[in-house]
Amino acid sequence: MAEASFTGGEFLKYAFDGNTEGDSFVLHFKTKKPAGLLYHMGDGSSNYLNVGIVTGGITVTMRVGTGSLDMFIKPNRIRFDDNQWHKISVTRKVQ
């Protein structure tokens, strides 16, 4: 388990191997920004996983090999850009 805090211009690099059986991570974050990239994991080619904020909701985009996923999460009465702490868990499993 690792922890990092950012003020806007920093980033953390994580090596992504699209051939693994899966990855799992948890993000705890708070922001006032309605749009931006929270997390990017990629191998430098076409394999990547992005988690971001768009209009106060969470977007997850993943491309691994020939598979892809695009998801947008914006619950009623909840915004993720409210400067409160939020927790997101993402798990990728190869089937």
Q: What is the reported pLDDT for 87? A: 94
What one-letter code names the amino acid at 11? F
Cα three-residue angle 43-46-51, rounded to 5 degrees: 75
Can you list the domains of the chain with their CATH numbers?
24-93 (2.60.120.200)
The pTM of the full predicted model, rounded to 2 decimals, is 0.78
Give 4-40 pLDDT, tens digit per residue.
777 777 777 666 555 567 778 888 998 999 999 998 8
Model pLDDT, residue 81: 94
pLDDT band at 1 (very low <50, low <70, confident <90, very high): low
Q: Which residues lie below 8 Å from residue 31, measured CB to CB, with a gap of 6+?
A: 53, 80, 81, 83
